[in-house]
Structure formats: structure tokens, C-alpha cells
Structure 1
Amino acid sequence: MNTWNQRFLESEYVYGEQPNAFIKDYVSFLKESPNIAAYAEGEGRNAVFLASKGHTVTAYDYAQSGLAKTEELAQKQHVSVQTRLTDLLLDELPVEKYDAAIMVFGHFPLQQQQAVIQKIIDSVKQGGRIMMELYSIYQLAYASGGPQQLDFLYDPKDILQWCEPHKIIHFFTGEQIRHEGALHTGLAHTIQFIIEKK
């Protein structure tokens, strides 16, 4: 059983039920995006939040237990979220299907990061938006969440380079306070971006 599936089996929402602060603060940038994909979505807090704002949302994750909790949270909030059991490293994603895509703290090995992010960009229509918050390579020193291996963190210079072919609406790297359940708490070092696909 994969570790994420194991992690999400408990009834408590390990990253909380509230959306990620970046998604919440910048949700207005998605207002022209009716159909959104939420990748590596875990227990569904961001997908449910976007659905509550009137978007049609599909949550992708490779932990079945996380998707089950996404559906439970959606029901609790009286919204609807589609779920798709998907391994972003191995599985194909739809191409040019969504008006926007988000990913919050999706962790992948360094060698595969660019390919995963490109697949996510490819799943969005031209002119659509992609919005992410990721832990940077400087996060290791902070002990406030995220992978304990450098290889699973992101270099801001790489992310900027992968965003460059598109219109960059927002790009930030630096310290943020995050209070997201038991596993993401305190001062963190993140990378945020919003791009419009060219």
C-alpha cells in the first residue's frame, strides 16, 4: 500500500479541511475558469473550496483513501467534486481539457518534476491558468512540513524556467506561514506561481 493511502486512512484530515492559504487568497485569478483540475489533491480541501466558489472540479490523486475523504468533505460542504485515481508519474492526463489547474505541495523526484508539471500544463486549454504552491529546496531547514529529502523539493530557478514559455501573472519564492492540519504548521519556504498558458 502506498504511504499516502496509509496516511489518509485515519478519519482526521491530516492537512485540515480548509483550503491552502495561497489558493484562498488568489482564487479570484480563477474566476474565468469554470472547469478546474486539482492535482495531487490529497484529501480534497482545495477542490472542495473551489467547488464552493461555483467551479466544476476534478480532483486527481493516487491515494484512494484521500479521494474517499475528498468525496466525504464535498458532501459535508454540499458541493460536488469528481475524483480520479491517478498516478501523475505514470498515467496519462487529459490534454487541453481544463480551463485551469492547481497543485498544492505535490511531491515528485527531481528527475520527474518537469515532466509532471508539463503534463499538468498540457491538461489546460490555451489561455487557461495554472496555479501552484510548492516547497522549495530551502524548506529542509524549516521543519514545518514537506519531504525530508532534498530530491523531492523544488528549485525556484527550475520552476521559473518552466514557467517562462507562458505569461507569468504571479511568481513568489520565500517565507510563508502555513497552518494546514498537523503536518504543515509554522514558517515554511515555498514557491508560488500563477501562469496563463500560451
Structure 2
Amino acid sequence: MNTWDQRFQGAEYVYGEQPNAFIKDYVYYLKDSPNIAAYAEGEGRNAVFLATAGHTVTAYDYAQSGLQKTEQLALKHQVTVQTKLADLLLDELPVNKYDAAIMVFGHFPAKQQQTVIQKIIDSVKPGGRIMMELYSIYQLPYASGGPQQLDFLYNPLDVLQWCQAYKIIHFFTGEQIRHEGMLHTGLAHTIQLIIEKS
């Protein structure tokens, strides 16, 4: 059992049952994307939100317990979410399969972040969109959630560079208020991006 599996064991949704505020506020950018992948999706709050908005959603996560809670949350909201157990560092992902993809606060070592993000971009069809909110390297002093190690946070300049080959619809880095369960709460420093694959 990995640490994420342990974190999601309890009945409580540690990041809450409501979608991430960035995904909720910008979901209209995905209105023409029927088939969406949600990566590093944890307990399913964003996947279920997208499913209730009428999308076909596949949630990927490294923790079986998180995927079980995703299925429970989907049942509660009377929607269906496909779940797939996957280690985004090691496993192959589909290529050119989805109309869009999201990832909210997926934590990976700095030297592997670009590889993971590229795999996610590659999983989307040409013309598809990718939305992410990530904790920036400036998050550490905020103590409002996210990894306590600099190596698992993202440098906004690196992320911008990784997006350069695509159409950048939205790119933001700075302070955001986040109230997501008991583990993400208060003022945070994040990176947001929406890109369109050419």
C-alpha cells in the first residue's frame, strides 16, 4: 500500500467532495470535449463534477482506495466515472484518445514533471485541451497544503516553457484561496494553465 492509498483509506474525503475552484470556474473551456481524462485524480471530486456536467470521464490514480472513493462519489451523484489504476511515472498512457485532460495538484519529482505532463498532453487528440492547477515552488511558506518538499513543486517558468509548443489559452501564477477538504485550506500559490493541442 502506498502513502496515497493510506491517505484515502478513511471515509472522509480529505480534499473534499467539491471540484477544484479553477476547474469549476473554467469548465466552459471543456464544453466541446465529450471524453475527458482526469489524471492524478485522487478521490474523484473533479471527475464526478465533469461527469455531472455531461462528460464521459476516466479517472486515473495511483491509489486503489482513491479510485474506490471516486466510484462511491459518482454513485452518490448518480453518474458513471471509469477508473484506472495507473502510476503516471511508470505506466504508458493512451495516445490521441481523449478530447481533453485535467490534472489538479499532481505531485511528481521535479526531474520527472515534464515527462508526466507530456504524457498527459500526448493522451489528448489534436485540437483537444489540457487544464491543470499545480502548486508552485513559492507554495512552501504558505502552509496551506501541497508537498512540503521543494522537489515536488513546480517552477512556473518551466511549466510555461513546456507549454510553448501549444496554444496557450490561459496561464496564471500567483495567490489563490483554496478550501478543499482538510488538507488544502487557505491562501496558496498556484500555477494554472489551459492549453490547446495543435
Q: What amino acid is the match of 2:20?
A: N
Please state whether the residue corresponding to 1:138 is helix, strand or coil: coil
Count of matched residue positions in the alignment of Structure 1 and Structure 2: 198
The structural deviation recorded for 1:86 is: 0.2
Please state whether the residue corresponding to 2:9 is helix, strand or coil: coil
Q: What amino acid is the match of 1:120?
A: I
Please state whether the residue corresponding to 2:138 is helix, strand or coil: helix
Q: How do residues 84-103 of structure 1 correspond to structure 2 at under 5 angstroms?
A: 84-103=84-103
State how far apart, in whole Å, the 1-side matches of 2:173 and 2:111 are.
Answer: 21
Where does residue 81 of structure 2 map in the other structure?
81
Where does residue 33 of structure 1 map in the other structure?
33
State how far apart, in whole Å, the 1-side matches of 2:53 and 2:85 are.
Answer: 24
Q: Deviations over 1:147-186 (max 9, x none)?
A: 0000000000000000110000000000000000000000
The structural deviation recorded for 1:21 is: 0.1
Where does residue 72 of structure 2 map in the other structure?
72
Structure 1 runs of 4+ with >4 Å offset? none
Unaligned runs of 5+ in 1: none
Where does residue 107 of structure 1 map in the other structure?
107
Q: What amino acid is the match of 1:27?
A: V
Please state whether the residue corresponding to 1:41 is helix, strand or coil: coil
State how far apart, in whole Å, the 2-side matches of 1:68 and 1:99 are.
Answer: 24
| Superposition TM-score, scaled by structure 2 size | 1.00
Q: What amino acid is the match of 1:19?
A: P
Q: What amino acid is the match of 1:82?
A: Q
The structural deviation recorded for 1:5 is: 0.2
State how far apart, in whole Å, the 2-side matches of 1:106 and 1:43 are.
Answer: 13
Where does residue 117 of structure 2 map in the other structure?
117
What is the RMSD of the two structures over their aligned residues, measured on CA atoms?
Answer: 0.3
| Superposition TM-score, scaled by structure 1 size | 1.00
Q: What amino acid is the match of 2:122?
A: D
1:164 matched to 2:164 = yes
The structural deviation recorded for 1:27 is: 0.3
Where does residue 20 of structure 1 map in the other structure?
20
Where does residue 190 of structure 2 map in the other structure?
190
State how far apart, in whole Å, the 1-side matches of 2:61 and 2:5 are.
Answer: 10
Where does residue 143 of structure 2 map in the other structure?
143
Where does residue 52 of structure 1 map in the other structure?
52
State how far apart, in whole Å, the 2-side matches of 1:146 and 1:172 are.
Answer: 18
Where does residue 127 of structure 1 map in the other structure?
127
Q: What amino acid is the match of 1:162?
A: W
Please state whether the residue corresponding to 1:148 is helix, strand or coil: coil
Q: What amino acid is the match of 2:46?
A: N
